[in-house]
Amino acid sequence: MAQVQAISSCSSMNLLFKGSIKSSPRIQDKFWCTKKLDSLQQLGVKASEFNGLAIAHSSFSFASPCATHAIQAVLANDKETTNNTAVGGKPIRKKLNKVVLAYSGGLDTSVIVPWLRENYGCEVVCFTADVGQGIKELEGLEAKAKASGACQLVVKDLTEEFVKDYIFPCLRAGAIYERKYLLGTSMARPVIAKAMVDVAREVGADAVSHGCTGKGNDQVRFELTFFALNPELSVVAPWREWEITGREDAIEYAKKHNVPVPVTKKSIYSRDRNLWHLSHEGDILEDPANEPMKDMYMMSVDPQDAPDQPEYVNIGIVGGIPVSVNGKELSPATLLSELNEIGGRHGIGRIDMVENRLVGMKSRGVYETPGGTILFKAVQELESLTLDRETIQVKDSLALKYAELVYAGRWFDPLRESMDAFMENITKTTTGSVTLKLYKGSVSVTGRQSPHSLYRQDISSFESGDIYNQADAAGFIRLYGLPMRVRAMLEKGL
């Protein structure tokens, strides 16, 4: 992405905004152009290159109601260097003061720390989010980060926020991408990116960075969140800029810059884990014809090895949101953790699919979502009692778009937020409980009940009742089938 270099007639190098960005995380800053431009061709740049904001090659003026200083904007290429020098005296692309980096402690992010310092002349604050990936992944991170050249490490526990504010809304909406994918990684990225924006504000950073590759979906999910919550932040994506092409290059770069290379064994799979799921990609999975290896799975046992006796679990639900397991009320993260354990020992929630990535290519992935699979089944089944036919059909159709928006990283898009308001309203009566039977990889419903149930036994019973007169069905059938009857009469010349 091209960078914008603003040159002001005054000493300030910042574009003038109307209002304070700190007053609202969602504020949309406005620019006023003193010269009317007829087309994007006059601007000399496609609007899509700047996510809708077009900047002219030639100079033109911006003005705000609060200032009269003219600011000229010109394009500067990503690789344009300045007279500034960073670590080692190397010319830098663009001077940044402080960058918040999404940090895992692995090889890639360990190398990104010195690379940022070398190429942008900045301090690096490493940020790690706990979204339920496991305590082992958080051990020793501060020492690793500082050994790589970071000035500090910030760790935040986002597990409850992740489940309550991201997972449960998707669950309530019934959002499933391409018939199978329960959006585990898609939901985790915006909560992490939002926290990065918060940390950037707290430490006074002017940029954020991530280690996502240019082939994946995650780069979009991170950056759309950055754009939505603080468009003033610069975004640095090393994998789209540097000359490192693989693991060996990264190791060589690390050694050259005295960065301790992580000694953990390199997995043959690319994995992403959080409290909702565990994904597996790469190696033999890149061929869709290959069956996954039995020892690949980590959250669930092989269904063949699951207990020979079924286990029953009761899920309590209020307004489309799970609140209890077997009568015990639990916090969102604790509830999901318990169901992961229960579902995992019965081999629940294994999905093998070929999906369409946002960037255009197809990819094959295997997902383990034991607790999530149980919860989706429970909420969906309770809706069969509490929602009428038309409502279910509309909700299901909107759920497809909802899932697409989440998958595409548009969590903070007004459309998703508006759809979420609909989902919250329409599921007000989705309250009750569902009992499910777990057995060797399968989840089946054995009972459901709700105080708002639209099911009436006195109406549905085959026994005679006062509300439903079976004789009324004859007239209904004649009217409902009238178009078919008329067509048949026409064909027969009647």
CA angle 390, 391, 396 (to 5 degrees): 100
Q: Could you list the beta-strand ranges (E) of 190-233.
A: 207-209
User: Whole-angstrom Cα distance, residue 295 to residue 267?
Assistant: 12
In the residue annotation, 108 being an active-site residue is answered as yes
When computed from its CA atoms, the radius of gyration of the chain, rounded to whole angstroms, is: 28
User: Whole-angstrom Cα distance, residue 451 to residue 317?
Assistant: 12
In the residue annotation, 487 being an active-site residue is answered as no
Catalytic residue from among 218, 221, 300, 363: 218
Estimate the share of the chain in helix, then strand, then coil, as percent rounded to the nearest 5: 40, 20, 40
Catalytic residue from among 93, 189, 221, 416: 189
CA separation (Å) from 59 to 8, 17, 43, 201, 405? Answer: 11, 18, 10, 31, 36
User: Whole-angstrom Cα distance, residue 31 to residue 15?
Assistant: 9
* Token pair recorded at residue 219: 């780069």
User: Whole-angstrom Cα distance, residue 381 to residue 336?
Assistant: 18
CA separation (Å) from 150 to 29, 105, 141, 236, 288? Answer: 32, 11, 11, 16, 40
* Token pair recorded at residue 294: 């039995």
Catalytic residue from among 8, 64, 234, 270: 270
DSSP character for 85?
B
Q: Tell me, letter by letter, the H, E, C secondary structure of 460-476.
A: HCCCCCCCCCCCHHHHH
With beta carbons less than 8 A apart as the criterion, state whether 451 and 432 touch. Answer: yes
H-type alpha helices, 20-133: 40-43, 107-120
In the residue annotation, 396 being an active-site residue is answered as no
User: Whole-angstrom Cα distance, residue 209 to residue 218?
Assistant: 12
Q: Buried (b) or exposed (e) across 143-169, using 16+ Cβ within 10 A?
A: ebbeebbbeebbebebbebbbebbbbb
User: Whole-angstrom Cα distance, residue 172 to residue 319?
Assistant: 8
- Number of Cβ within 10 Å of residue 382's Cβ equals 27
With beta carbons less than 8 A apart as the criterion, state whether 159 and 333 touch. Answer: yes
SS3 at position 438: strand
Catalytic residue from among 104, 108, 410, 433: 108
In the residue annotation, 218 being an active-site residue is answered as yes
Strands 321-325 and 311-318 turn out to be antiparallel
Active site residues: 108, 189, 218, 270
